[in-house]
């Protein structure tokens, strides 16, 4: 199952992903993160996409269910 990095403080998103069977881990927004299949961040901008070596989904303006759907969509595209 996919490993997903979730930006703090979004523990509710982490829990929702774990309920779907994903391995999710919280990280600090300024932390270098690697070894994951996908990341979930507060918002995407040019400055924060450089720190990841995997696709990233923004939660900005989305419900938890919408975030989970975007994560699954993104993971299916990368297969």
Instruction: Tell me the domains of the chain and their CATH numbers.
Output: 3-77 (3.40.50.2300)
- Sequence-ordered list of residues with C-beta below 8 angstroms from that of 7, at least 6 positions apart, any chain: 26, 27, 28, 29, 39, 40, 41, 42
- For 19, residues 6+ apart whose C-beta sits below 8 A from its C-beta are none
- What are residue 7's DSSP bridge partners? 27
Question: How confident is the model at residue 13, as a pLDDT?
Answer: 98
In this prediction, residue 69 has a pLDDT band, given cuts at 50, 70 and 90, of very high
Per-residue pLDDT, 38: 95
Taking the model in full, what pTM does it have?
A: 0.89
pLDDT digits (tens, 9 = 90+) for 10-56: 999 999 999 999 999 999 977 778 899 999 999 877 655 567 788 89
Residue 78 above 80 pLDDT? no
């Amino acid at each position: 199952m996919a490993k997903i990095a979730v930006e703090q403080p979004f523990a509710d998103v982490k829990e929702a992903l774990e309920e779907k069977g994903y391995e999710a881990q919280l990280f600090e927004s300024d932390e270098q993160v690697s070894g994951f299949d996908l990341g979930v961040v507060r918002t995407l901008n040019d400055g924060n996409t450089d720190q990841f070596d995997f696709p990233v989904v923004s939660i900005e303006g989305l419900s938890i269910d919408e975030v989970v759907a975007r994560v699954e969509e993104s993971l299916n595209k990368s297969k």
